Amino acid sequence: MANFDFDQAEGLRRMLAGAKPRIVTFHPDNAFPVPAMAANDIVIQVSSSAISIKAAYSLIKRMSLELGRRPFGLLVTGANEAEARVVYANMAQATSRYLAVNLSSMGSVPMDEFVTKAARLGRAVIDAYPLAGASVAYRRLAGRLSLSSSVGTKRSYGSQNWHNQQSSHVGT
């Protein structure tokens, strides 16, 4: 996936330690870890760049072919709320129309200078700067993932309507 931030993924991985959700990272050119993905919720991380959007769409298309038609969560990173809303709306429309795949908004994580600062320290942003915008957004995402797995709503990320989720987004 283009522009994937492994420092942010590591922070999210630490937040979810011991919880039911699992995070599997892989390079999109490699084979999919199908057994791990088939039984779990899948959240695609995308930025607002054209390269990232194209890579995310291609990834969703490949996974749909490999795993069958199923919903995916979409997390928009490095964008303000308005940009994230546009990215989500456009991708949801395209995947619905051309792939017959439903996307659910998982929210957004704003561009945050504290992510870079935390990486320089060799720490996850949520550990080093717990009040940073990205940290707050990741905690909300972890809460949403944890809630969906504890309630047993597999592949149900909650409301698919962006407007119902505005209170869970962190602006820049």
**Percent of the chain scored above 90 by pLDDT?**
42
What's the CA gap between 38 and 71, in Å, rounded? 12
Q: What is the pLDDT of residue 5?
A: 57
For 38, the 3-state DSSP assignment is: helix
Whether 160 has a pLDDT exceeding 60, the answer reads no
**Percent of the chain scored above 70 by pLDDT?**
62
Q: What is the pLDDT of residue 114?
A: 95
Q: How many CB atoms neighbour CB 13 within 10 A?
A: 16
What's the CA gap between 40 and 21, in Å, rounded? 8
**Each residue's pLDDT tens digit, 67-123:** 888 888 999 999 988 999 999 999 999 999 999 999 999 889 999 999 999 999 999
Q: What's the chain's average pLDDT?
A: 76
Q: Which residues pair with 43 in a beta bridge?
A: 73
**Cβ neighbours for 109, distance < 8 A, ≥ 6 positions apart:** 8, 75, 76, 77, 78, 133, 134, 137, 138, 141, 170
Q: What is the pLDDT of residue 2?
A: 41
Q: State mean pLDDT over 29-33.
A: 62
